[in-house]
Amino acid sequence: MPASALDYRSVGVPAAILFDTPSKAGKKLFLIRAQTPVEVLVRLDGWIKVRDAEGALAWIEARNLAEQRMLQVTAASAEVREAPNASANVLLSLAKGVVVEYLEAGEPGWVKVRHRDGVTGFIRNTQVWGL
């Protein structure tokens, strides 16, 4: 059964194995770290087919995913700002691949996030994946 459009989850265990088929007998493709966001594509008997920020497709056991919504920086660098505008103070600079928690949609083009260090602010939605 297909999942709804734009359904995102994050890895809820320290590391999870991604497989090429919805079975532990399938080929192990790679490990995915905790809190990494994935897009849910298909659900099948305790397994979920997902896409990551790089576009790779794989199967993961459903029990390894959490409801918590995370976003991954896809730009070479991104800035978390105090307010949802380009002239607001920069609170934090993030490198590509860093994961932040999605809190809510901000002004058009911005999203409110929280870094694992507790810094909360706004980032451009074009600099992250998982929306």
Q: Do 89 and 37 share a structural domain?
A: no
Give the integer Cα–Cα distance in Å for 9 and 71. Answer: 10
Q: Is the pLDDT of residue 4 over 60?
A: no
At residue 117, the pLDDT reads: 94
Q: Do 77 and 60 share a structural domain?
A: no
Q: Do 90 and 112 share a structural domain?
A: yes
Average pLDDT, the chain: 94
Q: Do 63 and 77 share a structural domain?
A: no
Q: Is the pLDDT of residue 3 over 50?
A: no
- What is the tens place of the pLDDT at every residue in 22-51? 999 999 999 999 999 999 999 999 999 999
Give the integer Cα–Cα distance in Å for 38 and 7. Answer: 9
**C-alpha separations of 21 from 43, 45, 72, 98 in Å:** 12, 12, 25, 28
Give the integer Cα–Cα distance in Å for 53 and 63. Answer: 20
Supply the pTM of this predicted model: 0.88
Q: Do 81 and 62 share a structural domain?
A: no
123 contacts 81 by C-beta, under 8 angstroms:
yes
Q: Do 80 and 48 share a structural domain?
A: no
Q: Do 46 and 82 share a structural domain?
A: no
Considering its fold, how many domains does the chain have in total? 2
Q: Do 9 and 63 share a structural domain?
A: yes
